[in-house]
Chains A and B, each alone.
Chain A
């Protein structure tokens, strides 16, 4: 069963958000990394990039497939995680901690309300698995 952390917000495209003041720390979920399998390449937005909620802002590739990374909230990218770009397998090993991907200074924090909490995301995963 995929690990879902309490206290985070989640998108239907399997990104997670940890709120630290006006900063949204963003990564992909344990479910996403397990679905992708061995992750070998990441492309992340440069600091200074403005992103809009729901836009593709990067790419995550495994041996099996390539997948877009979507911005869970709007704002300005203030930091991208170089360590995970250099060592993509971190995204398999530590999706919620070492492999955070970007930090976004939120322009519209209300957007967080449109994301799922852990309980809702667990239910969403169960439904996804049931229809798969």
Chain B
């Protein structure tokens, strides 16, 4: 089957992008180069085509109890115009997907943003769970085909985006989402992202994608705004220790094992996966996700590589890279809990050879503190 393309395919070609097939989509992996794009986002700003991501709308009188039932975070605490990181879980505590839920400022509906590879699976899952409760008045709609999505990320993102945005972006705090106009296009502008930098994600009618992309690149050029591909999106999120579904999260990994216990709010009442997570909390998690860096040369640790302690397998690398910001080989690994601990070592097997690694504090990268009055930290 031919891969799907976003409305920006010709823009990417004209910018000299190299492409990869990702989750059934033909997407730019890099333009100028992964390292250059990564550093541009850390020091200036980058523009991302996120047209492959999925968007689901959940609306109706019982939208809140429905979302409470299918997610572990407390949707009841989500105020209008705010965003919440959450998940969809299986009854065994494994992860269907990790998601972002926005309650639109007008309270009309929840916008659920899901991973490209999981859009169909999530939609079907929600329809089935909806059918478990025929008494609920709730509608789930896949609006991916009509919703455009871009991200602008980096310390200069606000300054650049402000030039074409109605309203004062400096009052938009992390995880706020406001309905406004960008270059004349009605858009939901959220101070969220997947890079570890300040920045915004934009949702708008898909027909406006090309116009917004071209306009933002044009007005950001003087500040060094560059287009950024999926390659740097991955190195940026990994330095910030933001999980990637399929690597740190999967049907076989619970949020507790992935060190995302803060997403699980047991006080809120029943939800799918709750019993399994409670059991795991009582018994202790058998595996833990840990951050590490290589302390000897030997290559780049990559997804799926074996982790050993004194020659015995204790786990697997979930993600790894050569960190552009730190100049080190870094990674995340899911290992036996008994072997986890900052300062402790293990070996990563790279091409058959054990390479020494040290467990370190995460995230690997934290952006410099904001100035006072620049909003709350996240």
Contact = CB atoms under 8 A, between A and B. Distances in A.
Contact of B322 (A43, A59, A63): A63
A63 B299 contact: no
Contacts of B299: 41, 43, 59, 61, 66
A103 B188 CA distance: 59
B35 A41 contact: no
Contacts, number: 41
A50 B235 CA distance: 37
A86 B34 CA distance: 20
Contacts of B321: 63
Contacts of B258: none
A38 interface: yes
B235 A63 contact: yes
Nearest to A35: B18
A63 to B, nearest CB: 5
B231 interface: yes
Interface string A32-68: 0000011011010000000000000001011110100
Contacts of B302: 66
A64 B297 contact: no
- What is the predominant secondary structure among interface residues of chain A facing chain B? strand
Contact of B33 (A37, A41, A43, A61): A37
Nearest to B327: A40
Contacts of B33: 37-38
B322 A37 contact: no
A40 B351 contact: no
A20 to B, nearest CB: 29
A114 to B, nearest CB: 27
Contact of A63 (B18, B34, B297, B351): B34
Nearest to A40: B322
B30 interface: yes
A40 B231 CA distance: 14
Contacts of A43: 299
Interface in B285-310: 297, 299-300, 302
B34 A37 contact: yes
B189 to A, nearest CB: 31
B7 interface: no
A61 B300 contact: yes
B29 interface: yes
Interface string B195-208: 00000000000000
Interface in B315-368: 321-322, 324, 329, 351
Contact of A66 (B30, B34, B300): B300
A66 B30 CA distance: 17
Given A59-B351, A63-B322, A41 B300 contact: yes
B254 to A, nearest CB: 30
Interface string B19-39: 000000000011001110000
A43 B352 CA distance: 14
Contacts of A59: 299, 351
Interface of A: 37-38, 40-41, 43, 59, 61-64, 66
8 closest cross-chain pairs (CB), A and B: A40-B322, A38-B35, A63-B34, A41-B299, A61-B300, A38-B34, A63-B322, A61-B299
10 contacts: A37-B30, A40-B322, A41-B322, A59-B299, A59-B351, A61-B300, A63-B231, A63-B235, A63-B321, A66-B302
